[in-house]
Amino acid sequence: MVDAPLALLAELTHRCPLRCPYCSNPMELARAAAELTTAEWARVVEEAAALGCLQVHLSGGEPTARRDIVEITAAARAAGLYTNLITAGVLLDAGLMERLVAAGLDHVQLSVQDADEAGAERIGGLKGAHAAKARAAALVRAAGLPLTLNAVVHRQNLHNLPALVERALEWGAARLEVAHVQYYGWALANRDALLPTRAQLDEATRVVDAARVAHKGRLVIDYVVPDYHATRPKACMGGWGRRFLGVSPAGNILPCHAAESLTGLTFPNARETSLAAAWADSPAFNAFRGTAWMPEPCQSCDRREVDWGGCRCQAFALTGDAAATDPACALSPHHGLLQAAVTHAEGEAFRYRQYGRAR
Amino acid sequence: MTPRFAPGVRLQEDRARNRWMVMAPERMFLPDETALAVLRLVDGARDEAAIVAALAEQYAAPAEVIAADVRALLEDLRARGAVTW
């Protein structure tokens, strides 16, 4: 008997007004016509709740680009899920905010690309985005909802980390996630322009430590050392097929939002397969579940049930083998790839996210 | 003092596992039985004394014993960001 999942990531659409060069969506973006309908999403959230999920992250792309975002939020809340909207905020207005609150929205996570307008608009690739985000933050707070600011950080904005902390306080966020870019998909294509230096990382850790002390009781800061400067991998998704499932805009049921980057796996689709059947029985979910699939050095490692072998997508992206030990681990024979990438990273030009294959 | 749930925090039934969870932004935790008994009475209207009285009746225990437990629990839940007053 497989333990039930705790959370659903509902990627409602790949459409988004921003063009961030580290977007976590796949390189091949789903077209609007391929997206699940309102009724299909309502069924997905009900199935997720029945299966054991306690919360849903309504994400994308930009989830508010869907005209039925309010209906989907209401369906999720009616199913008994804690509802978290992960948004860029640029499409949010007072009317939509009010309807989302009435639908039972519990929490908003707002992304921010940089602390200042020029940087934020260059990185996100959208003019006017920064001011729109400030307005969105104010709307969330005026509605009485808790706000988390999600700052994706990399070489070109880490110098602004103290200002990002100030922005979180100024915009009324109770939580700040300082999220280092994860390098697969679009971000891997932009790795040379994004990888932070070791000196930047050490300074960022110092800034976070100081801010946690200075703003204790007012601002919680989540921060994790990025893989390229780590010696042990993260328990990606808390382990493959352990606590988490995602559904893509077109309905593919995924163990991780980046899982479609792995070739050789076929993912069940919510139009044909129930979430329960996908979770328990599909070859894709069982491929890297538990520890039996692990190669050495993971197989005999005493941390195998701590980090679950790290990230499958990163292992595949860097070694071509999805079952390899995550190169973030210093025990991986491929660990040197990460230091080499850090050493060679230079240049500032981005390849922005766009529809159609960018390869 | 009248406790209420902090913004974005609520009790939610976990039907698949037959338990109640405290849900909060980006995190959740399992309250123990006593904490759950107190949290069920937190509605932003009952003050601490009313919560103590309700529990004293529910558990047929002296209010002064319950009162010390309730205060400690509420302080703990406040420290964890679940309730505020």
What are the pLDDT digits (tens) for B6-65?
999 999 999 899 999 999 988 899 999 999 999 999 999 999 999 999 999 999 989 998
How far are the Cα atoms of A6, A115, A141, A284, A352 from residue A147, in angstroms, in the given order? 22, 17, 7, 35, 27
* Residue A359: band (very low, low, confident or very high) from pLDDT cuts 50, 70, 90: very low
Q: In Å, how far is B41's CA from the nearest CA of chain A?
A: 20
Which of B7, B17, B28 minimises the CB distance to A52?
A: B17
Q: What is the pLDDT of residue A357?
A: 52
pLDDT tens-digit readout, A167-221: 999 999 999 999 999 998 899 999 999 999 999 999 999 999 999 999 988 999 9
Q: What is the pLDDT of residue A80?
A: 94
Which of A4, A54, A146 minimises the CB distance to B21?
A: A54
Q: What is the pLDDT of residue A217?
A: 83
Q: In Å, how far is A64's CA from the nearest CA of chain B?
A: 19
pTM of the model: 0.94
pLDDT tens-digit readout, A32-64: 999 999 999 999 999 999 999 999 999 999 999
Average pLDDT, chain A: 94
Q: What is the pLDDT of residue A233?
A: 93
Number of residue pairs across A and B with CB atoms under 8 Å? 51
Task: Identify the CA nearest to A293 among candidates A272, A333, A258, A265.
Answer: A265
Q: In Å, how far is A52's CA from the nearest CA of chain B?
A: 5
Task: Identify the CA nearest to A252 among candidates A238, A273, A237.
Answer: A273
Q: What is the mean pLDDT of residues A305-328?
A: 94
User: B1 — contact with chain A (CB < 8 Å)?
Assistant: no
Query: Which tokens belong to A218?
Result: 């007012």
How far are the Cα atoms of A103, A254, A271 from residue A59, in angstroms, in the given order? 16, 14, 19
Question: Would strands B83-84 and A82-87 be described as parallel, antiparallel, or unpaired?
Answer: unpaired
B12–A175 CB contact, under 8 Å: no
Give, for A57, the enclosing helix (H) or strand (E): strand A55-59
In A, minimum Cα distance to B18 occurs at A52
∠A103-B11-A138 over CA atoms, to 5°?
Answer: 45
Task: Identify the CA nearest to A22 among candidates A164, A145, A189.
Answer: A189
* A69 has a pLDDT exceeding 90: yes
* A354 has a pLDDT exceeding 90: no
How far are the Cα atoms of A306, A330, B38, B82 from residue A292, in angstroms, in the given order? 15, 21, 43, 39
pLDDT tens-digit readout, A82-130: 999 999 999 999 999 999 999 999 999 999 999 999 999 999 999 999 9
